[in-house]
Amino acid sequence: MGLHWIDISIFVIYFIALLAIGFYFYRTNKSDEDYYVGGRGLSAGHIGLSVVATDVGGGFSIGLGGLGFSIGIAGSWMLFTGLLGAWLSAVYLIPKVYPIAKKKKLLSFPQAVEHYYTKDVALAAGIISLIGYVGFSSSQILAGAKLASATFPTAITLEQAVWAMGVVAVLYTVFGGIKAVIYTDTVQWIILLTGLVGIGLPMGYFFIGGIDGINEHLPAQMLSFGNITVSQVINWLITIVPIWFVGMTLYQRIYAAKDEKTAIRAWHIAGVFEYPFMAFMGVLLGMFAKVAYLQGAFADAGFSVATAATNPLDAEMGLPLLLRTMLPVGLMGLMLSAYFSAIMSTADSCLMAASGNLMTDIIGRFKKKMASNLVLSQLLTFVIGAFAIVLALHMQNVLELMLYSYAFMVSGLFVPVLAMLFIKSPSPKAALVAMIGGGTTTLILILMQKLDGLKLPYELDANLFGISVSIMLFAVVHVSKK
């Protein structure tokens, strides 16, 4: 299905608007403080929307729709853990970190780590975070490109989609810095809501025949909040909550707030938008897609119940197929823009995080005079962005390995961060051992699952075991130092 010129025009206007925001803030950035933390004067509304767009953006159009398609309304519990993580970090993290960040003019997450530990611990955290976010930037670009090319196979190829997403995301991030990222996240949020909620929900509801279509085709368990296992809840808790304490993207936004109360308010806003708002919107659209599939609406695309044995439908492609099937000219261009905005709202934040880690925590660690160079910051963001695009185009196996490093980051850094929040004078040696031991445990288990078919007990996530090892190692080393 090709795109009508109206759809293409909408898509192009969307891209031009993003670039315009980036160039506008290019003129306002005067220092690395402007570039990485927005001059520390941003409002709760913009920061809150940016946080939720970054956290949910890519997963909303893919993951939540897939959960609604496969398990129904119970999939909404996934983002309840997002609400929990946001509000826990608002209570325990922001009051500890913000006053220090304001006093010491911090720009990155590892700089906060250094305040509680040592420069060596901060350097290790910076390297771990850099690798994780470079890989995650690439994976977001690739995931969005795959989604767009699969949904509109005759309109855009995978390579074209990678270039389109990558170049635009990199350019407005390079020029505008964190302010461009936060304000474009607001624009992308509006596009996402307009496309998937304002249009997708009502049209999808009527397309499948309303409540009668749902009751006729969906099994009862898909309408139950209890259609979920204890293991799934634990896995979501252990993979999502820690991100709120170790994510460089989130620390940059804490620092960007004009005061501590503003940062806390932003986190409360983000939590509410994650659950119940985004959670239910996402899974409902996925459920509508499941009904449409069972009704035979995707048969022309080669997917039906009759052919499920030979050509099964990936749950995460259900929502894109629903939108592709039911939307008329004009709205299709808006939906394609919504897909790209969902992914780019995460990709741009990851680029800023990786750039901040490299500039502030690695180069700045050894070359202090270069640590406040705005032009160099922009150049490094460009280099990282270009590298992410190349990875997405040519090195997908490497991308997989770099995503493992993201898991390494979460399971390795979470315990040292908790220790710096709740323990007086935590041991730097314990932090290093916990980082390496916990992260390595998770990485080994993930690789064994993929290469050797390892089955973890009760289908629990590898992060649970990595964080458990990290806790034990930290406790043993910390106590032994006393």
CATH of the domain at 235: 1.20.1730.10
Q: What is the mean pLDDT of residues 203-232?
A: 95
pTM: 0.89
The residue segments making up the domain with residue 12 are: 5-397
Instruction: State how far the alpha carbon of 289 is from the alpha carbons of 80, 196, 209, 318, 353, in Å.
Output: 22, 13, 12, 5, 35
pLDDT score of 272 = 93
Q: Could you give the CA distance from residue 458 to residue 91 in angstroms, rounded to a whole number? A: 32
pLDDT score of 7 = 77
Q: Are 235 and 467 in contact (CB under 8 A)?
A: no
Nearest to 252 by CA among 351, 318, 321: 351
pLDDT at 404 over 90: no
Q: Which residues contact 99 (CB under 8 A, 6 or more apart)?
A: 260
Nearest to 350 by CA among 268, 308, 405: 405
Q: Could you give the CA distance from residue 446 to residue 444 in angstroms, rounded to a whole number? A: 6
Q: Which two tokens mark 53?
A: 């767009």
* pLDDT tens per residue across span 109-149: 999 999 999 999 999 999 989 988 888 888 878 877 777 77
pLDDT at 210 over 80: yes
The answer to whether position 147 is within a domain reads yes
The mean pLDDT value of the chain amounts to 86
- Which residue has 């620390």 as its token pair? 251
Q: What is the mean pLDDT of residues 192-210?
A: 86
Q: Which two tokens mark 175?
A: 């020029």
The answer to whether position 422 is within a domain reads no
Phi–psi pair at 42, nearest 5 degrees: -90, 155
Give the range among 4-8, 37-41, 246-250, 374-378 with minimum mean pLDDT: 4-8
* pLDDT tens per residue across span 38-77: 888 889 988 998 888 887 766 556 678 889 999 999 999 9
The answer to whether position 44 is within a domain reads yes
* pLDDT tens per residue across span 235-269: 999 988 999 999 999 999 999 999 999 999 999 99
pLDDT score of 112 = 95
The answer to whether position 138 is within a domain reads yes
**DSSP code per residue over 35-57:** HHHGGG-B-HHHHHHHHHHHHHH
Q: Where does 357-427 have alpha helices with state H?
A: 364-366, 374-394, 396-422
The answer to whether position 294 is within a domain reads yes
181 vs 260 pLDDT, higher one: 260
Q: Could you give the CA distance from residue 89 to residue 223 in angstroms, rounded to a whole number? A: 32
The answer to whether position 50 is within a domain reads yes
Number of domains in the chain: 1
pLDDT at 402 over 60: no
Measured in whole angstroms, how far is the alpha carbon of residue 432 from the centre of its chain? Answer: 26
pLDDT score of 57 = 65
- Percent of the chain clearing pLDDT 90 (strictly above): 44
The answer to whether position 468 is within a domain reads no
Coil vs helix vs strand at 257:
strand
pLDDT at 438 over 90: yes
Q: What is the mean pLDDT of residues 340-357?
A: 83
The answer to whether position 234 is within a domain reads yes
Nearest to 39 by CA among 50, 47, 28, 48: 28
pLDDT at 223 over 70: yes
